[in-house]
Amino acid sequence: MSTAMETDVTAGFEMVVGLEVHVQLKTQTKAFCGCSTNFGAPPNQNTCPVCLALPGALPVLNARAVELALRVALGFGFTVNARSIFARKNYFYPDLPKGYQISQHDTPIAEHGRLDIGLLINGEPRVIGITRAHMEEDAGKSIHDRYESATAVDLNRSGVPLVEIVSEPEMRSPEEAGAYLRTLKQILLYLDISDCNMEEGSLRVDANVSARPFGQVRLGTKCEVKNMNSFSGVERALAAEFRRQCGVLVAGGSVQQQTLLWDGAKGEIRPARSKEGSSDYRYFPEPDLPPLLISDAELARVRETLPELPAARRARYAAMKLSEYDVQELTADPATGPFFEAVLALHADAKSVANWVNGEVRAVVNERDTAWDAMSLEPARLAALIDLVRDGVVSSSAAKKIFAQLLVSTDTPRAIAERDGLVQVRDDNALAGWVDEVLAEHPVEAARYAAGEKKLVGLLVGLVMKKSQGRADPKLVNQLLSSRATG
Ligand SMILES: [Zn+2]
């Protein structure tokens, strides 16, 4: 079949998307027991009677998990419920030894959030409503590829604390869903409540998607898509599922509510096995845990600890007259800003500091896949290097060579410049000597230049730079040559 037909099938239909994001909270221990949450431990090592669901074991709520959930609530502007209820979500699966997951149902810890996803639609900032955020525990993990004819179960993840953030069905395109997820993740990282690592499963996304004719108010039948392991995977899965549903509708059929799995390698959607599709969880209040009570004092205490969030930081940097690009780059992750500001505190010019941080320094961070504070580059040494360029002691190209040395040497930038012969020569006699030599060696160009052919200055400066092995101060060489032409 032609691709033209496949793309046509969506014409006249609107995509409606809601997202459920599971975020693993960065606690040392699990939600209801003292077991470690350490990722990558040997299977079933981080377990105890509580998270193995041995008879008689009772859960005790992790206070740190509550605190991190409150950070999420405040960071996204949710209304916090002073009293929320834990509930049992009942279903059978081998990786769920209790036969239920402790979650929150009717009364979650937080409701009614909003997220500006950084897109302008018809000139208006796009803001997506967030229905709720609730606390829950993770299930274990089934391992299907370890034994040929059997499935293994690893319960290390059983009982790890999560916050599930559920959006309203207000996104209308894969692009909006991608922007929502990227904005959400950025804020979660700033809040320092999770690693948000999709590959390790500390951030997981399920999407509810439906299609309806443009202009129809009633929502179409939705399907849930799971198993996406990157944000671009979510965008591709949404496009594929939307196309599938439109195809069903165009053919006169009706969409059946079901759960689907995304196969990123094949770029395909396929139906999930029946377990993932079951939706009758018969929730009831968890009898082993009291209602979760949050006092105003507790909320105020957590609010005090909130860090600066991306929007506020962007506004502050924009006020420094930095470009939109610089602002976006400097605030993309939580760690770049503090490094930028530490350098800035020692060197007044924000633009040149931003150039270095977004250029050479970021390149090293990306190349080494390291953290900003683990880079063995003290802000003071970078500031000293930028000062050398400002003061004309070294050229910009020499500064890049010195920068590379800063990462492997403990010498000061000036000492490296002197050691490697990178200090610009600004001595008039030395410069005049090189200029004279170049003019003598190129009499034709020299004569044309003297006769007023000013555009030759670039060529002559280049020759002087070459003769000086890059050490001459090009500005002074330029001045010197100009004075020769007019003189
Ligand atoms: Zn345990």
If you measure from the C-alpha of residue 97 to the centroid of ligand 1, how many angstroms do you get, rounded to a whole number?
12
Section 302-328 average pLDDT: 96
pLDDT attached to residue 132: 97
Q: Is residue 408 part of a domain?
A: yes
**184 and 54 both lie in a single domain:** yes
Q: Is residue 74 part of a domain?
A: yes
Q: Is residue 80 part of a domain?
A: yes
Inter-CA distances, 224 with 12, 207, 328, 338, 479, Å: 22, 6, 33, 40, 69
| Helices 174-191 and 63-75, axial angle in degrees (round to 10) | 130
Q: Give the number of domains in the chain.
A: 3
User: Which range of residues forms the domain containing residue 364?
Assistant: 310-419
Spatial distance between the Cα atoms of 62 and 32, rounded to a whole number of angstroms: 6
Quick one: pLDDT band at residue 160, thresholds 50, 70, 90?
very high
**114, 129 Cβ separation under 8 angstroms:** yes
If you measure from the C-alpha of residue 433 to the centroid of ligand 1, how many angstroms do you get, rounded to a whole number?
79
**38 and 154 both lie in a single domain:** yes
**323 and 460 both lie in a single domain:** no
Of 189, 175, 176, 139, nearest in space to 160 by CA = 139
Quick one: pLDDT band at residue 274, thresholds 50, 70, 90?
low
Q: Is residue 304 part of a domain?
A: no
pLDDT attached to residue 3: 52
Residue 350 above 90 pLDDT? yes
**150 and 264 both lie in a single domain:** yes
**190, 307 Cβ separation under 8 angstroms:** yes
**10, 214 Cβ separation under 8 angstroms:** no
419, 447, 478 — which closes off a domain? Answer: 419
**404 and 432 both lie in a single domain:** no
**412 and 432 both lie in a single domain:** no
Note the pLDDT tens digit of each residue in 55-77. 999 999 999 999 999 999 999 99
**414 and 435 both lie in a single domain:** no
Instruction: Name the token pair of 484.
Output: 């020769």
Q: Is residue 303 part of a domain?
A: no
If you measure from the C-alpha of residue 28 to the centroid of ligand 1, how many angstroms do you get, rounded to a whole number?
12
**35 and 153 both lie in a single domain:** yes
If you measure from the C-alpha of residue 137 to the centroid of ligand 1, how many angstroms do you get, rounded to a whole number?
11
238, 266, 297 — which closes off a domain? Answer: 297
If you measure from the C-alpha of residue 283 to the centroid of ligand 1, how many angstroms do you get, rounded to a whole number?
23
If you measure from the C-alpha of residue 147 to the centroid of ligand 1, how many angstroms do you get, rounded to a whole number?
26
Section 174-179 average pLDDT: 97
If you measure from the C-alpha of residue 36 to the centroid of ligand 1, how many angstroms do you get, rounded to a whole number?
8
Note the pLDDT tens digit of each residue in 401-430. 999 999 898 999 999 999 998 998 888 899
**97 and 121 both lie in a single domain:** yes
If you measure from the C-alpha of residue 50 to the centroid of ligand 1, how many angstroms do you get, rounded to a whole number?
5
**422, 401 Cβ separation under 8 angstroms:** yes
Q: Ion ligand 1 — residues with CB under 5 Å?
A: 33, 35, 48, 50-51
If you measure from the C-alpha of residue 9 to the centroid of ligand 1, how many angstroms do you get, rounded to a whole number?
50
If you measure from the C-alpha of residue 190 to the centroid of ligand 1, how many angstroms do you get, rounded to a whole number?
29
Q: Is residue 449 part of a domain?
A: yes
**102 and 52 both lie in a single domain:** yes
**81 and 193 both lie in a single domain:** yes
If you measure from the C-alpha of residue 64 to the centroid of ligand 1, how many angstroms do you get, rounded to a whole number?
16
Spatial distance between the Cα atoms of 362 and 371, rounded to a whole number of angstroms: 10
pLDDT attached to residue 370: 75
Quick one: pLDDT band at residue 277, thresholds 50, 70, 90?
very low
**147 and 40 both lie in a single domain:** yes
pTM for the predicted model, two decimal places:
0.88
CATH number at 444 reads 1.10.10
